[in-house]
Amino acid sequence: MAVPANQVTNLVGEGRLELDEPLRWRGILRADPLRLPWGFRYDLDLEQVQSAGQWRAVHGGLRAYFVDQRAPGNPAPVRAGERLEILARARLTRNFGDPGAFDYRGALQQQGIDLTATLRNPALMQTVPGPAPKLSHYLARLRGRLLNDLDAMLSPAEDRAAIARAMLLGDRSFLDSQQAESFRETGAFHVLVVAGLPVGVLAAFLFWAGKKLRLPTAARALTTIAALGFYVAIIEDRPPIMRAALMAAIYLLARTLFRRVALLNAVSLAAVVILLFRPSEITQASFQLSFLAAGIIAGIAEPLLERTVEPYSRALEHLNDLTRDGSHPPKAAEFRIDLRSASNWLGSRVPSKLAQYCDQIVVIPCRISLRLWELAVLSIALQIGMLSLMARDFHRVSFIAPVANIPAVLLT
């Protein structure tokens, strides 16, 4: 996409806009003010700046912080889509020069933020007449309301509120460095990212609810896809949830056409769709980690499980139907026969009222064990496959991660 001639970074770089003194900035508030542990954050899509007593059009993004300890009172409540005028000394974003340091500037540019500023007094910000809010602004208002509702249910000062904001709405602004470090050390930081697990649970629940309502398969699929699209629209951390939602949509559409979906094909198609609209995502750590994890599951873990666990999982179905034994591989058929023998042996030694439950007593522990083995295989494959990126982005390799992720995923 071409860079506008009045892009704020170009104006500053060419010396046509000086940032040495406070300037008046006008722009549309992109989202509801984000409450932080120490104040508020305002993201503006810039429209104008007053320089040398004249207003001039400008394009870019400004992130302004208000630290509520510096001045009494807070700025007047504002909502996404309102036009604000701010008097502040803005500055270009910069990175620390340490080797391996986080690319703060690149991360902000990916979010459309070119300048940052600090408001030193509530009176330095005011609303001015502007256009009507867009659909994106109403979605941002809904997101802001949900964050406020979370804070109302859980005390913002508690650790669980910070974790709930991250897990449900992708907002990690209340996670302190110690919390984040604890999750990274155990290799369980992924549970704080809105991605495959919550999207999968939501899609499965909606599809199941549609079945209970006796909706046609196509209607269930389209309703679920629409709900997932709505959920994606109010989440801030986009690449992981976009990948998960696209894969879910591909699966649901294929199901309506009575087609099977190869998981690796779904991962690849989701990556292509995202890169068609935002090619720069390929350089982002979140995109790389998300699709590497999905690729490992699809290309390594799933084939391994299909050859080891899945035959035995399928063998647990309809255990007492002898006619199905021949449809299973020899070892799986032998497994069925052994379980049936164990069930019959147990049934002959317990009261008659309990005998009818012997199949479940034998099958359920086996099913749980196989599911735990699946989680272990997935966790080990992911940790080994992602070693290089984890070392590059987080500067560590966690040897406890394969073990810690099993209870972490179950609890999540």
What's the pLDDT score for residue 30?
Answer: 92
Which of 134, 165, 191 is the last residue before a domain boundary?
134
Which of 82, 102, 134 is the last residue before a domain boundary?
134
pTM (2 d.p.): 0.76
Residue 207 vs residues 139, 224, 250: alpha-carbon distances, Å: 24, 6, 14
Which of 103, 134, 165 is the last residue before a domain boundary?
134
In a domain, 20, yes or no: yes
What's the pLDDT score for residue 72?
Answer: 60
Any residues with CB less than 8 A from the CB of 63 and at least 6 apart, and which?
Answer: 41, 42, 43, 44, 108, 113, 115, 116, 117
In a domain, 335, yes or no: yes
What's the pLDDT score for residue 81?
Answer: 92
In a domain, 128, yes or no: yes
Nearest-angstrom CA–CA distance, 288 and 188: 17
In a domain, 213, yes or no: no
Domain CATH code at residue 73? 2.40.50.140
Any residues with CB less than 8 A from the CB of 22 and at least 6 apart, and which?
Answer: 87, 88, 89
What's the pLDDT score for residue 47?
Answer: 92
In a domain, 364, yes or no: yes
215 burial type by CB count under 10 A (0-12 exposed, 13-18 middle, 19+ buried): middle
- Number of structural domains in the chain: 2
- Categorise residue 39: left if φ over 0, alpha if ψ from -120 to 50, beta otherwise: left
Q: Which domain holds residue 387?
A: 309-412
In a domain, 102, yes or no: yes
Nearest-angstrom CA–CA distance, 166 and 175: 8
In a domain, 390, yes or no: yes
Nearest CA to 56 out of 113, 91, 21, 11 is that of 11
What's the pLDDT score for residue 45?
Answer: 93
In a domain, 2, yes or no: no
Nearest-angstrom CA–CA distance, 171 and 63: 16
The one-digit pLDDT tens for each residue of the chain (412 residues) are: 567 788 888 888 888 888 888 899 999 999 999 888 788 899 999 999 988 788 999 999 999 998 876 556 667 789 999 999 999 998 988 877 666 666 778 778 878 889 999 988 888 899 999 899 999 899 999 998 998 888 888 876 667 788 888 888 888 878 777 777 777 777 777 777 777 788 888 899 998 999 899 889 889 999 999 999 898 888 866 678 888 888 889 888 888 888 888 888 888 888 888 888 888 788 877 788 888 888 888 888 888 898 888 999 998 888 888 888 888 889 999 998 998 898 888 888 878 777 778 888 888 999 999 988 888 888 888 888 888 887 777 777 777 777 777 787 778 7
- Whether 63 and 104 have beta carbons less than 8 Å apart is answered as no
